[in-house]
Amino acid sequence: MSETDVLRAPQTGPIRLDDMPEGQISLIVFGPGRGEAIVLVLPDGSIGVVDGCREPEKNDPVGRGDPVRELLATMGRRRLRFVCLTHPHADHYPGLGRLLQWHRPEKVFVTLPLTGDYKKVFLAYSAALEKGVPPAEKGGLERFYAQVERFESSGGEINHMDERKLLLEENSLCGARLAIWSCGPAPADVKRTLNDLLGYAQAHATKAPLPPETIDPNIASGALHVHWGDAGLLLTGDLLRGEHPLSGWNKTESWLCPPGHPVQVINVAHHGSEGAHHDGLWAKLQPKLAIVTPFQNAQNGQPPKRSDLDRLASTATVVVTTPPAWLGTAGAASATPLGRVIPVTSRSTALKGIIEPALAINNAVAVSLDKTGAITRLILSGAASLYPFT
Ligand SMILES: [Zn+2]
């Protein structure tokens, strides 16, 4: 796909729900520089949320500072069909607890069945990873699980993500069939993560704590395959290429793309890292558009590297939600230690030394497809850019 194949809006202000064409399927990917959040807008205008990226310091009803909640504040009577957490990692759960406090979805999709002692240990493990996060933003995962429990106990429908599981289906939605499949995590990966968690707990009990990195929730990340008519979207969380033939992408490759279900748009797994790229799957899908959310602004070797973006760009149009720090040129973003990205050009004029998250949270990409799978619209907001950069 070349640039001329898509209707590309110039860099805009915040993306609005009204920017998404009616009767088409749209994806809004927020990547403020640290986390990743996705809003799926279905052809009937209803909404699904996959992951969260910001934990606002104040618990206000509008969620100012969280781009997902700010968007939902304008949803009016639209249905909130689901909220999904692909995996409990600090760049994917922020804000989701408060979202569930203020909005009631029809369904919640979660991965990793964490209950009882497993949950207790996992929350302790996650808290250890929150060093350096401002106090008001801590505890996001605990808030999420508390809200999920509240949702379930009040009759809400919880779906555990699994391999090849149909999560949502509608035979005729604005003239085509809608299906949302969970692809992963593989049961072997879930088992391994829970075992690692047990090891972590045992080490703590014997006062020989393992470093938190010994558990990697990414290996048990879920992914979503959304198709509506001939339009296909793959939202991949942080699902990695498995080390084992029956894990990660190795496991899902075999069934992900049955004939007739093409994938035109991929929200690239694990911020574009090499370890999450599966050559066989990529060659089979041949996506037209790859959306990448750089992790921690791609500082200090975090993904994506230039080689990662080059690899994706050899076959697809690539967009990033925020310019990677390694770009290092005027106009590229700089980041605070917390990963709040502030365009260099606006720091001196508007900010007067105050970090203003609102500038960063606009970093987003939106894409719309009609039911034939044609990409009809691509919007780059904030510091989002096409790659290679011009
Ligand atoms: Zn991540």
Q: Which domains does the chain have, with CATH numbers?
A: 3-387 (3.60.15)
Per cent of the chain over pLDDT 90 is: 48
CB 270, CB 276: distance < 8 Å: yes
In sequence order, the 6+-apart residues with CB closer than 8 A to the CB of 45 are 17, 22, 78
pTM (two decimals): 0.89
Most confident region among 55-59, 87-91, 150-154, 376-380 by mean pLDDT: 150-154
How many angstroms is it from 172 CA to the middle of ligand 1?
34
For residue 34, name the pLDDT band (cuts at 50, 70, 90): confident
Q: Give the mean model confidence (pLDDT) for residues 39-61.
A: 94
Least-confidence region, from 156-170, 232-246, 248-262: 248-262
- pLDDT of the residue at 243: 77
User: What does the alpha-carbon distance between residue 386 and residue 374 come to, in Å, rounded to a whole number?
Assistant: 19
Residues forming a β-bridge with 380 = 365
- pLDDT of the residue at 346: 26
Per cent of the chain over pLDDT 70 is: 85
Select the more confidently predicted residue: 299 or 28: 28
How many angstroms is it from 45 CA to the middle of ligand 1?
28
How many angstroms is it from 224 CA to the middle of ligand 1?
15
How many angstroms is it from 292 CA to the middle of ligand 1?
11
How many angstroms is it from 304 CA to the middle of ligand 1?
11
Structure token pair of residue 99: 């979202």
- pLDDT of the residue at 255: 72
Look at residues 17, 117, 12 and name the one whose alpha carbon lies nearest to residue 77: 17
The C-alpha torsion from 253 through 258 and 262 to 268, rounded to 10°, is: -20
How many angstroms is it from 297 CA to the middle of ligand 1?
12
Q: Which residue has the tokens 């994806």?
A: 27
How many angstroms is it from 303 CA to the middle of ligand 1?
10
pLDDT digits 0-9 by tens, 20-30: 999 999 999 99
Residue 16: how many CA atoms within 13 Å on its side-chain side? 6
How many angstroms is it from 35 CA to the middle of ligand 1?
7
* Residue 212 burial class via C-beta count within 10 angstroms: exposed 0-12, middle 13-18, buried 19 and up: middle
How many angstroms is it from 206 CA to the middle of ligand 1?
31
How many angstroms is it from 221 CA to the middle of ligand 1?
10
How many angstroms is it from 154 CA to the middle of ligand 1?
30
Structure token pair of residue 235: 């939202």
- pLDDT of the residue at 323: 84
Q: What is the mean pLDDT of the chain?
A: 83
Chain centre distance of CA 51: 5
How many angstroms is it from 181 CA to the middle of ligand 1?
20
How many angstroms is it from 91 CA to the middle of ligand 1?
5
- pLDDT of the residue at 353: 26
How many angstroms is it from 350 CA to the middle of ligand 1?
30
How many angstroms is it from 380 CA to the middle of ligand 1?
21
How many angstroms is it from 271 CA to the middle of ligand 1?
7
Long-range (24+ apart) CB contacts under 8 A made by 117-123 are: 117/201, 118/194, 118/197, 119/145, 121/197, 121/198, 121/200, 121/201, 121/204, 122/88, 122/197
pLDDT at 247 over 90: no
How many angstroms is it from 218 CA to the middle of ligand 1?
8
3-state class (DSSP) for residue 245: coil
How many angstroms is it from 238 CA to the middle of ligand 1?
5
Structure token pair of residue 317: 């149009």
Sheet of strand 47-50, all strands in order from the earlier edge strand to the far edge: 157-160, 107-110, 80-85, 47-50, 37-41, 25-30, 364-369, 375-381
How many angstroms is it from 255 CA to the middle of ligand 1?
24
How many angstroms is it from 34 CA to the middle of ligand 1?
8
